[in-house]
Chains A and B, each alone.
Chain A
Amino acid sequence: ETGVTQSPTHLIKTRGQQVTLRCSSQSGHNTVSWYQQALGQGPQFIFQYYREEENGRGNFPPRFSGLQFPNYSSELNVNALELDDSALYLCASSHGILGMRSTDTQYFGPGTRLTVL
């Protein structure tokens, strides 16, 4: 059984650029949640995807968007990067049930450290 993986590990971008982060979910999981963790803070929920559909969103602007693929892997896209977007981006996978938000334990990947200059 493989765990949650994320790529890349680190990324440096400049303001105004766009970035794509990738996540492969744990075997058997159909739900992926993305979180942003600023330095010294707890993770903040961005959005969740269940079977390729967005299934809940936190308080993040539309320039944060996502995708989930048939194999349940996922991408987080951020447009028009701002300095405050510098953070550790975490994805978590879990098992969801049709019609309900996933309440199963979420297992996290190692994260992608994004630095915006």
Chain B
Amino acid sequence: SQELEQSPQSLIVQEGKNLTINCTSSKTLYGLYWYKQKYGEGLIFLMMLQKGGEEKSHEKITAKLDEKKQQSSLHITASQPSHAGIYLCGADIPLNYGGSQGNLIFGKGTKLSVKP
């Protein structure tokens, strides 16, 4: 069955430092989504990547999808306390006959703490 592995499980960084979170799939992805979640709350959409080699940026957050579409990274530059939370990657899984399942499979999340 399809699984997503996220690493690290948790991360504590000093404010102003850069950091990277990784998401690895055992199978080729149809699409890869990054969400942020405050503890016990809903998921906030960050970015979606679909093409191999694609890279997107929003403010200080950059996400990349590798050429094989099995690994993605999320990079935060000059972290701030507002970046703290749980980062989840979600994958849209392709069907054999084309298209996708339409539901997302998620990793367990990476908990980010930013020390002022």
Q: A residues touching B (Cβ–Cβ < 8 Å)?
A: 4, 6, 33, 35, 40-45, 48, 55-56, 58, 88, 90, 92, 96, 100-103, 105-111, 113
In the complex where A103-B31, A105-B33 touch, is A45 in contact with B104 (Cβ < 8 A)? yes
- Contact check, A107 vs B45: say whether CB atoms are below 8 A apart: yes
Q: B residues touching A (Cβ–Cβ < 8 Å)?
A: 4, 30-31, 33, 35, 40-45, 48, 88, 90, 92, 99-109
Q: How many A-B residue pairs have CB under 8 A?
A: 71
Nearest A residue (CB) for B44: A108
Q: Which of A4, A88, A108 has the most CB of B within 10 A?
A: A108
Alpha-carbon separation in the docked complex, A108 to B104 (Å): 12
- Contact check, B42 vs A108: say whether CB atoms are below 8 A apart: yes
Partner of B103, one of A41, A58, A107, A113: A58
Name the B residues within 8 Å of A108 (CB-CB).
Answer: 35, 42-45
Return 28 A-B CB contacts under 8 Å, by A number: A6-B42, A33-B104, A40-B108, A41-B108, A42-B88, A42-B90, A42-B105, A42-B107, A43-B90, A44-B106, A45-B103, A45-B104, A48-B103, A55-B102, A56-B101, A56-B102, A56-B103, A88-B40, A100-B99, A101-B100, A102-B102, A103-B100, A106-B33, A106-B45, A107-B45, A108-B35, A108-B44, A111-B40
Name the A residues within 8 Å of B41 (CB-CB).
Answer: 110-111
